Structure 1
């Protein structure tokens, strides 16, 4: 019997009677991270990695029935041993390791390979079957080092400030915005942010992640000189909205892995595109899969067909799972020591 199967509600573990990142309401939901295509409202019980608790409660409601585990902590539920391991995607993101009898499966959720200082870095977990996303699962997707991207953002910001233009950078409010804040040179000028970004910034700071000082853009008057020198971080949904009028004559950019595609910058209608993704690129996907030692690979989203074909050519058993995860990137350095062997609770969620 497969340890995880695809059902209309989501990825289901029959032995444990729970779902992983379900897209329809269920009784027991194991959540890999707080992006809205993986963490949805309406489930009766939630289980997630402890570093993501504050974000999940902010997005799904403070009173959700949420149980958490530390990275590496084991829980026994109906004979299934479950643990969370860092995915390196956003704060609190996790891979889910499931052990039942002789089987070990790992569901990766979303992950990236390059550590960025804003969340616990990706930790390869050995398993028999690996469930992987494939958002950027084509050979054309190969990321440059993030330091190079941050330097490009800094140069763009400086050039705009020199001619008194605000630099409006569209980026997703959870994960991408904080990664940019952590990586840019904050000495170059004032940094203004949309309220959706600042609410997540506060959670990151409380978790011990260094972010430079930021100012809520709504608190700055249109006539303030700050507006003409600032870097502004805003969700993509604000593009062409009335909220943008406060910045006058500005230059805009978009930070996303999709900027790797020709024409995407024109489609977004922005001046600059910065190729920065919180998902693994093609080499990163192949490296992560190899590190697991898995002989069976289940691919859940994105360019699943291309990755499945490549893995089969390498002699692996590979197939695609039908899921409803988005193909988009969503709208404290946590150092993890090798965990000691903890006692195993008898059950998880009721």
Structure 2
């Protein structure tokens, strides 16, 4: 049983977080979806409750809780009881760790306490109109001008792009080395840093996704994150956790689709009884339950490996690939079993279906995940 994966303290944390979602998130999610934005006050409220950057040391305002299980719990509860478009996990576990691993002491002291409190919202900007998975095609560049760097270029599809107060931006810094790049911390209010429109997406309607523009932005030398020219290596270091997080989110969404569909087919009457009495329904739900349970067992193992520092890039890629595909099948079957009602946005399965399509694209497409696994089997670059 899954309860054996979590300690009693973690189960108490889950119940507390679920109460928080029911009180502070779920009642407002429809409005957030219409607005295309989660109010930034929600980040501050999360910070007040200790839900942001739980790993951050107490000296920097955090709880000092390293165990990834706590983030896994929040991801699962967000899918079932919250708003998947509230991207606090990206803030806490995808972007902030770059400050932890590569930030100077001064940068950590300047940013991490404000990130813990929710005062400073984070984003990361890699993708460009002509450079998605292939970072070597990146056109954004930074020029060393002695006492500062001069940043020029643009980024697109940046999650938390409207709300972000600090954006970690990847840029080329050596014209002779096309794969050499550096990470910079670009802050709200810097001259030449502008945001485009909040992009209208298929799903995740409450999550702000923006275009970012950099026109001769002067970046102080103390806003270089890590070593100059080592940006690619720094980005690669965080990919395993990023893909594990994406896998957890996908699987949690699949679980939410299953729960909604189970309740619907038990209540919906057709041919003289509930839909759940029909063999087709029962077999489809049984197949869905099996896929989700198999995926969950693998994810729980991956989280255990990650906590021990043993999660490999291949295992994380397998988890991300498989869970995103399972999510896709779960939401599709769930919507089908809802019938015409599933096509209506008043039914949550409709939103889950729209949200799920990005899972096979972000953090590396399914095709790239399969290539990583294949290279491990057959070799190659």
TM-score (norm 2): 0.27
Give the number of the structure whose residues are more often helix, by fraction.
Answer: 2
Structure with bigger RCO (C-alpha 8 Å, 6+ apart): 1
TM-score (norm 1): 0.28
Give the number of the structure whose residues are more often strand, by fraction.
Answer: 1
